[in-house]
């Protein structure tokens, strides 16, 4: 794939072949209760069962296993609040190369432990985009590692597109797909799949009300970046970048927001009714569907559950 051009469907097919031995083909689950409650037919693509516990292993593996031999010795590096960090560590470990990740000191301990478990080295920063990027610049200068951006990397976006490719193979004739949006990697991959193979399907994004820069960007027609939003959905705190903005601005039908209380309620209900543990970030689409029933009623909707790396000792509805 030419780094100066946006990927094609052929790139997605090649990426899937490249990474298939390192990922799971995750299941699609349904819930009659949630269907009745929302008035829609929901199909949950469960990337919480993915290797490393999140969809981001797809993009990370595509980037790592696509590296030429001459770049392997210095390894890879990234900055991430968690799931891309542990996914890149997983991929690097499978290829036997070093991986350094810059993580906010406030990132969930479960995610930090997973990074270390996969062999990644963590350098901590303050919980803001500016701190993250400044510390990361120091890491790259020191190591010379290949930067694999969490979402603004076309290799990563192409890898994420394999998730929706599987979804459409598993559930034909969907009317819409909805996924969380932070930096926009998964949404971009979904837009890539839909625009190339499912032109009649609508793509929606869901975002925390307290970290709604993608929503405001979408309405304004240009990128608006918040530096350090505060939300329980820790995976959705980062802003859009130019590559993901390309997909969001051209292919997303709408972006919906949900309050902290709505996100937590959706997360808890998913646990109670579907018996699966999902991250708060993953609950935002379901919260958005409840909040906007007129958009989804009577439709067949794919809902991408992006990850399941939760600190079980600090579930958001627990007291103290």
In terms of phi and psi (left: phi > 0; alpha: psi -120 to 50; beta: otherwise), the region of 230 is beta
**Which fold is adopted by the domain 9-54+157-314?**
Rossmann fold (3.40.50)
- The pLDDT of residue 6: 95
- Please, what are the averages of pLDDT over each run of 10 residues along the chain (320 residues)? 76 98 98 96 97 94 96 93 88 96 88 90 90 92 94 97 98 96 96 96 97 96 88 89 97 97 95 93 96 97 92 73
Residues 6+ positions from 117 with CB-CB distance below 8 Å:
none
Residue 93's φ and ψ, nearest 5 degrees, are: -60, -40
Which residues make up the CATH 3.40.50.1100 domain(s) of the chain? Answer: 9-54+157-314, 57-147
- The pLDDT of residue 4: 56
What does the alpha-carbon distance between residue 79 and residue 239 come to, in Å, rounded to a whole number?
13
Q: Which CATH number fits domain 57-147: 2.60.40.10, 3.40.50.720, 3.40.50.1100, 3.40.50.300?
A: 3.40.50.1100
What does the alpha-carbon distance between residue 32 and residue 9 come to, in Å, rounded to a whole number?
34
Question: Which DSSP string corresponds to 49-76?
Answer: GSGGGBTHHHHHHHHHHT--GGGSTT-E
User: What digits encode the pLDDT tens for the residues 71-105?
Assistant: 999 999 999 877 898 999 999 999 999 999 999 99
- The pLDDT of residue 192: 98
């Amino acid at each position: 794939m030419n780094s100066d051009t946006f990927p094609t469907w052929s790139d997605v097919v090649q990426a899937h072949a490249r990474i298939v031995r390192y990922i799971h083909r995750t299941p699609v689950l349904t819930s009659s209760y949630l269907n009745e409650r929302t008035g829609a037919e929901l199909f949950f693509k469960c990337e919480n069962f993915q290797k490393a516990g999140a969809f981001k292993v797809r993009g990370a593996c595509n980037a790592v296993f696509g590296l030429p031999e001459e770049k392997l010795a210095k390894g890879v590096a990234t900055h991430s609040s968690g799931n891309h960090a542990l996914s890149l560590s997983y991929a690097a470990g499978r290829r036997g190369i070093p991986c350094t990740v810059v993580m906010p000191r406030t990132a969930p301990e479960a995610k930090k432990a997973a990074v270390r478990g996969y062999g990644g080295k963590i350098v901590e920063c303050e919980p803001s985009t500016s701190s993250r990027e400044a510390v990361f610049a120091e890491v790259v200068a020191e190591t010379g590692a290949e930067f694999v951006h969490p979402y603004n990397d076309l290799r990563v976006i192409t890898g994420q597109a394999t998730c929706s490719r599987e979804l459409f193979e598993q559930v034909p004739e969907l009317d819409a797909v909805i996924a969380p949006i932070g930096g926009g990697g998964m949404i971009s991959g979904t837009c890539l799949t839909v625009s190339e193979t499912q032109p009649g399907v609508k793509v929606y994004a869901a975002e925390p009300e307290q970290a709604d820069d993608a929503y405001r960007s979408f309405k304004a027609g240009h990128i608006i970046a918040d530096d350090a939003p505060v939300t329980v959905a820790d995976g959705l705190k980062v802003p859009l970048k130019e590559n993901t903005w390309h997909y969001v601005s051209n292919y997303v039908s709408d972006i919906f927001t949900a309050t902290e209380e709505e996100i937590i309620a959706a997360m808890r209900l998913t646990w109670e009714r579907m018996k699966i543990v999902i991250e708060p970030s993953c609950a935002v689409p379901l919260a958005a569907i409840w909040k906007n029933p007129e958009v989804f009623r009577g439709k067949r909707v794919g809902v991408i559950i992006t990850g399941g790396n939760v600190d079980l000792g600090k579930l958001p509805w627990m007291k103290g």
